[in-house]
Amino acid sequence: MKIYNTLSRRKEEFVPIEEGKVRMYVCGPTVYNFIHIGNARPMIFFDTVRRYFEYKGYQVNFVSNFTDVDDKIIRAAKEEGVDSSVISERYIKECKTDMAGMGVRPATTHPKATEEIGGMIEMITTLIEKGFAYEVNGTVYFRVRSFPGYGKLSGKNLDELESGNRTLLVTGEEEKEDPMDFVLWKPKKEGEPFWESPWGQGRPGWHIECSVMSQKYLGEEIDIHGGGEDLVFPHHENEIAQSEAASGHVFSHYWMHNAFLNINNVKMSKSLGNFLLVRDISKQYDLSILRFFMLSAHYRSPLNFSPELMEAAKSGLERIQNGLVRLRDEAENCAEVGADQGAVREAAIRFRAQFEAAMDDDFNTADAIAALFELVKFANITDPAQTGRADWDALRAAALDMAGVLGIEEPKKELLDADIEALIEERQAARKAKNYARADQIRAELADKGILLEDTKEGVKWKRK
């Protein structure tokens, strides 16, 4: 398996720190509003990376944080006249709803910055003791020039940054020793949340949060750190500097960054009025379509969002899901021993190999989807009556495994009206026998298949969702 490493600017063979295990950290959203589709791309992609590692048999410890203390959160809280925690908790909940809609599974751990302040104070103290940080009037800064490797991820040169392009400088006060030094701890302002520290009441800078949360839940040295390419500088550059300065060894072995998302070939921006929320898209499309659309291009390629491309993604996803349904429903028509003498099983092996080759090549989801399309096309022209059951099952297993990595679910089998009526009768009999556990189980089974029951004086009524 090869991964393009932003640090080395080339594809490298993946070698885990610990055999059979992957430690992976991905920067999560700042929770002051609903997530936008720019947030969605790394969520969907790195969820797919995790799924593929698990498909390959790795045990994945996947950590993705919520930044729940930030100027934007504080501003939103002031506008509503509530505590900042009200804003952050509201949008963490909404974010999880959107993630579930996109098929993004919960991380092994979703740490919140506000719950890890003690660890941040400890790391800052270590950096001060080692001479990498200094305090001025309650603000603690990282001494960028004290870290020899600064700029190795982004390729930026400190002297050029300072003299040539002021817009790239890390913001700060005149009290800094060097304009490039960045904030690790800032003193409180009136009406803002704060924590006690050796440097007075205040709160952490943004960059230190991810370093500490990664270290706590994954250890000082991790396999993969991911996020959008907008985080390469300064956020991830600063993470490397403070983490490696504190620990004395490599922070992350592989750095992965997804490219930007454009809207109708224009960069997404609130000022341009093309800022799309995932919640807005969910009103028009099932979010499984958004996921499929996101994976239809290689993660390091810019991706353009448009209604036409979403419609194409919808059609493509339907083709695959229809294929999965056929593989499921036609299984009963298979012969015990087929006339094809293993040709279908060989095809299953071939399609699986194509899929794995694509994913092993820097997680090329576009080519992986193409392999799944080929499998579906093959299944659609294969006669189950001429296929042995074991062979058909092998083809279906390959399709389900490939779809599972991509986060494509097999549509649930729709119950016939007669099946529903039979289950309702069984439930009524169970209630008369006071077997309430079975009655509740039947209600739950029907609800899971989209059938809602209503007990009325006239009897049980049902409807499909």
Residues 237-246 pLDDT 10s? 999 999 999 9
pLDDT band at 225 (very low <50, low <70, confident <90, very high): very high
Residue type at position 110: H
Mean pLDDT value across residues 54-72: 97
What would the mean pLDDT of 327-341 be, rounded to a whole number?
Answer: 82
Instruction: Collect all residues with Cβ–Cβ distance below 8 Å to 328 and sequence separation of at least 6.
Output: 396, 410, 413
Tens-digit pLDDT profile for residues 191-223: 899 999 999 999 999 999 999 999 999 999 999
**Gap between the Cα atoms of 174 and 141, Å rounded:** 12
Q: CA 61 from chain center: how many Å?
A: 13
What is the average pLDDT across 142-156? 96
Answer with the one of 223, 258, 293 that is the final residue of a domain.
258
The token pair that represents 380 in the structure block? 């659609």
Q: Are residues 63 and 182 in the same domain?
A: yes
Average pLDDT score over residue span 395-412 = 96
For the chain, the domain total comes to 3
Same domain, 398 and 423: no
E-assigned strands of 276-343?
Answer: 303-305
Decide if 267 is inside a domain. no
pLDDT of residue 447: 86
Contact 127, 246 (CB under 8 A): yes
For 90-93, the CB contacts below 8 A with 24+ separation are 91/31, 91/32, 91/33, 91/34, 92/31, 92/66, 92/68
Within the chain, how many helices (H) and strands (E) appear? 15, 15
What is the Cα–Cα distance from 138 to 214, expressed in whole angstroms?
26
More confident residue, 297 or 420: 297
Q: What is the pLDDT of residues 19-58, one digit of tens each?
A: 999 999 999 999 999 999 999 999 999 999 999 999 999 9
DSSP character string of 145-169 = GGSTTTTTTT---HHHHHHH-GGGS
CA dihedral 386, 390, 396, 402 (to 10 degrees): -130
Q: For residue 169, tell me if it sits in a domain.
A: yes
pLDDT score of 227: 97
Residue 283's pLDDT band (cuts 50, 70, 90): very high
Q: How far is CA 288 from the centre of its chain?
A: 13
Which residues, listed in sequence order, are joined to residue 136 by a DSSP beta bridge? Answer: 139
- Name the residue among 81, 75, 64, 65 with its Cα closest to residue 32: 75
pLDDT at 383 over 50: yes
pLDDT-derived band at 168 (thresholds 50, 70, 90) equals very low
**Model confidence at 461: pLDDT above 90:** no
Q: Both 383 and 457 in a single domain?
A: no
Q: Are residues 440 and 379 part of one domain?
A: no
Whole-number mean pLDDT of the chain?
93
Residue 67 in any domain: the answer is yes
Q: Where do runs of H (alpha helix) occur along 330-388?
A: 343-360, 365-380
Q: Are residues 188 and 329 in the same domain?
A: no
Q: Are residues 239 and 366 in the same domain?
A: no
Residue 189 lies in a domain: yes
In this prediction, residue 341 has a pLDDT band, given cuts at 50, 70 and 90, of low
Q: Which of 386, 406, 426 is the last residue of a domain?
A: 406
Is 264 part of a structural domain of the chain? no
User: Cα dihedral angle (267, 270, 275, 279), rounded to 10 degrees?
Assistant: 150
Residues forming beta bridges with residue 460, ordered by sequence position: 455
Beta-carbon contacts of residue 400 (< 8 Å; ≥ 6 apart): 324, 410
74 compared with 448, residue with greater pLDDT:
74
Based on the fold, state whether residues 184 and 310 are members of the same structural domain. Answer: no
CA distances (Å), origin 204, targets 63, 197, 209, 236, 245? 20, 10, 7, 16, 18
Average pLDDT, integer, range 76-89 = 96
Q: How confident is the model at residue 408 (pLDDT cuts 50, 70, 90)?
A: very high
Could you tell me if 50 and 181 lie in one domain?
yes
pTM above 0.75, yes or no: yes
| pLDDT of res. 357 | 98
Q: What percent of the chain has pLDDT over 90?
A: 77
Residue 161: predicted pLDDT:
79
Residue 250 lies in a domain: yes
Residues 385 and 424 in one domain: no
What is the model's pLDDT at position 229? 96
| Interval 266-285 mean pLDDT | 85
Model confidence at 66, pLDDT cuts 50, 70, 90, reads: very high
CATH assignment of the domain containing 343: 1.10.730.10
Same domain, 85 and 199: yes
| Residue 400 binned pLDDT confidence (cut-offs 50, 70, 90) | very high
At 173, is the pLDDT very low, low, confident or very high (cuts 50, 70, 90)?
low
CATH number for the domain that contains residue 219: 3.40.50.620
421 with 402, same domain?
A: no
Q: Which of 246, 42, 248, 233 is nearest to 153 (CA)?
A: 233
Give residue 155's region: left, alpha or beta (phi > 0; psi -120 to 50).
left
Does 272 map to a domain?
Answer: no
Domain ends where: 361, 377, 406?
A: 406
Work out the average pLDDT over 72-84: 95
Rounded to whole angstroms, the Cα distance separating 76 from 84 reads 8
**293 and 330 together in one domain:** yes
Q: What is the pLDDT of residue 167?
A: 46
Whether 112 contacts 69, CB under 8 Å: no
The C-alpha R_g of the chain, in whole angstroms, comes to: 26
Note whether residue 263 is domain-resident: no
Percent with pLDDT over 70 in the chain: 97
Which range marks the domain in which residue 139 is found?
A: 2-258
